[in-house]
Amino acid sequence: MRISDHISEKMICLTLENITKDDVIRELAELLKESEDVTDFDMFLKDVFEREKLGATGIGNEIAIPHARTNAVDNIIIAFGRSSQGIDFNSPDNKPAKLVFLMGTPKKDINKYLQVLAYLTRLLKKESFRHQLLEAQNAGEIMNVIREIEN
């Protein structure tokens, strides 16, 4: 299981422009819109917002992982965004999210969905990894940081 298999440089934004949770989700979703794995963009976005209503996807340590199991994607897709001021994702520690991973997984792949979500969460518990994501200067560096921690 590798996060780097499901994200690319064009799915990374180091300067999120929006300041609300919903707008940031839309901004990150736009990065995935042209992916061949997205079969129905509007349904994907709707499913992410429906999942968001079920409970906060802010996990603490300035991280949020909005996500959805959806029939609107053929494979797991991930977008990454970074916010200097942080976005309120109702995290348990009340800290705004500066690192946001938007993830979509096919509904039929529940095991893969749970594995990727757990793996990403485990990686993000490492302070050095979070620090490197915050300090990277461009999308290529983000990809290198992700690949490095996976090895």
How far, CA to CA in Å, does 7 sit from each of 44, 66, 68, 93? 16, 15, 16, 27
The strand pairing partners of 106, in sequence order, are 70
Which of 92, 109, 87, 112 minimizes the C-alpha distance to 22? 87
Q: Please list the active-site residues.
A: 67
**What CA–CA distance (Å, rounded) separates 30 from 112?**
23
For the chain, the farthest-separated pair of C-alpha atoms sits apart, in whole angstroms, at 36
